[in-house]
Amino acid sequence: MTAPPGRRERKKAATRQKIADTALRLFLERGYDAVGIRDVAAEADVAVTTVFSHFASKEALVFEQDENFEQRLTRAVTDRAREEPLIPALRREIQALVRHCTADSAAPIWRMIDESPALRKYEESMRLRHAESLATAIAADPDLAQTTTACRTIARFAIDGYSLAREAADPETALDEIFRMIEAAWAAARRPEDVAGTARP
Amino acid sequence: MTAPPGRRERKKAATRQKIADTALRLFLERGYDAVGIRDVAAEADVAVTTVFSHFASKEALVFEQDENFEQRLTRAVTDRAREEPLIPALRREIQALVRHCTADSAAPIWRMIDESPALRKYEESMRLRHAESLATAIAADPDLAQTTTACRTIARFAIDGYSLAREAADPETALDEIFRMIEAAWAAARRPEDVAGTARP
DNA sequence: TTTTGAAAAGCTAACCGTTAGTGGTACGTT
DNA sequence: AACGTACCACTAACGGTTAGCTTTTCAAAA
């Protein structure tokens, strides 16, 4: 994995990157809808089929960082300090992600996304995928011992928080407000009979 | 609006219904992906362009009841009894919707939806639309006096509850669990300084 | 009643994302 | 040096969707 990658893998990664870079540049220059896959392929000097061997769809060209995002979320849960409670750890990571998305340099990209129904739809179902991964990571933590329903619910709430804060006029205070609600929801998820202790007969 | 509709409107509605019925029947008979728009149009004895003048996309043929669903949600908020708090009213309606979707008669349709990525994506972005409508309805209630962020958040949570409960092995208890969390989140949305009274300087 | 305007429906032909199917080429390995 | 495997290219098509234009059907003015 960390061993020096062979020439083949480097070339593949380079091709992938070149396609992604070219696509994003064209999309920003001429608008997402005005650029066809055939345009991207021609400009990146590859065949149309090569584009689709690296990316599952035209929309995926824009969300190249997809898996990165997903890993950061799950790791925020699995790699947190032993004593750190779930919600603050989640909150920290999501705040970082929101800051990343609302940075000035990312503004043109997000404007493009907001203007294209296809891209919005793609991002929405991407978020749901991330919420499922997050739910799995939460459910796997033995310290929490929650029902799968509670885990899935809190995962969705967290992703909702990311999405809503990103869109808010003041992302920071919005995230504050939302995570106060999430914290309360998480506290309520512990069933009454379990509040006194974690052990069960 | 309630006046006797002219022949033109009746014919239009009939055409629309015939297309929707034909499409759903074919989809269930042969599978969603195995039926093309051209098949639907031929079987309903209309032109392809007519199908798209009534429905925005192939997926929309399956979610014909879309607007109905949306209205029920917003009305659950706006038409609730004067003293009834928001969350229980929402809960009642969503429970009814979940029951409706998990009824045996609806099972084949939802299986078809779950098996088609395109349909799932469509349903996801439909839910977001509904969450936005719901948020608007909640924000419009003068008795609640919440920030828009809190309204949007609680609306998303409620829709998440619908979606998660629908998928759960035991929808009823899942909905119980989720709405306990939502209730707590809503209580936490009232900012500390506002708990004593609604008036502000 | 006749005329007229417009909504509804139809047809053709295309555009665009996406996917076989086929074959060639460069790379890592023996 | 030879071989097998990814990787990549090309062509051609399929299926959803739309544009452009004509025809039909209804409603209401004349």
Residue B196: inside a domain: no
Q: Is residue B1 part of a domain?
A: no
Q: Which residues of chain B have pLDDT under 50?
A: 1-3, 193-201
Range of the domain at A87: 66-191
Please tell me whether residues A133 and A91 are part of one structural domain: yes
Closest CA to A166 of A113, A95, A112: A95
pLDDT tens, position by position, A57-98: 999 999 988 888 999 999 999 999 999 999 999 999 999 999
Same domain, A83 and A154: yes
pLDDT for B191: 61
Q: Are residues B40 and B124 in the same domain?
A: no
Query: Near strand C (CB < 7 A), which residues?
Result: A 6-9, 11, 35-38, 48-49, 52, 56-59; B 8-9, 11-12, 15, 45-50, 53-54
- % of residues, chain A, pLDDT over 70: 92
The string of DSSP codes covering B158-194 is HHHHHHHHHHSSSHHHHHHHHHHHHHHHHHHHS-GGG
Q: What is the pLDDT of residues A168-184, one digit of tens each?
A: 999 999 999 999 999 99
Task: Nearest by CB to B177, from A125, A147, A183: name it.
Answer: A147
At B2-46, the pLDDT tens digits run 345 677 788 888 899 999 999 999 999 999 999 999 999 999 999
Phi, psi (degrees; rounded to nearest 5) at A41: -60, -45
Same domain, yes or no: B74 and B34: no
Q: Are residues A127 and A151 in the same domain?
A: yes
For residue B19, give the nucleotide whose C1' atom is nearest its CA. Answer: C9
Is A164 within 8 Å of B174 when comparing Cβ atoms?
no
Asked whether residue B21 falls in the same domain as residue B108, the answer is no
Q: Is residue B11 part of a domain?
A: yes
CB contact under 8 A, B180 and A160: no
Instruction: Note whether B153 and B94 are same-domain residues.
Output: yes
Residue A56 inside a domain? The answer is yes
Residue A5 pLDDT: 60
Q: Using pLDDT thresholds of 50, 70 and 90, give the confidence band for residue A191.
A: low
Asked, for residue A159, whether it belongs to a domain, the answer is yes
pLDDT digits (tens, 9 = 90+) for A1-37: 444 566 777 888 888 999 999 999 999 999 999 999 9
Token code pair at residue B192: 């500390």
Query: Is B198 part of a structural domain of the chain?
Result: no
B85 with B153, same domain: the answer is: yes
Task: Tell me phi and psi for residue A146, to 5 degrees.
Answer: -110, 165
pLDDT of residue B4: 52
Q: Are residues B113 and B34 in the same domain?
A: no
Same-domain status, A107 and A186: yes
Q: Structural domain tally of chain A?
A: 2
Residues A137-150, mean pLDDT to the nearest whole number: 94
What does the pLDDT read at residue B25?
Answer: 96
Q: Is residue B163 part of a domain?
A: yes
CATH code for the domain in which residue A34 is found: 1.10.10.60
Task: For residues A116-135, give the mean pLDDT.
Answer: 96
Instruction: Examine the domain organization and report whether A12 and A27 are in the same domain.
Output: yes
A44 and A80, same domain (yes or no):
no
- CATH number of the domain bearing residue B103: 1.10.357
User: What's the confidence (pLDDT) of residue A200?
Assistant: 42
The domain boundary residue, chosen from B35, B58, B81:
B58
Q: How far is CA A47 from CA A43, A64, B50, in A?
A: 10, 19, 36
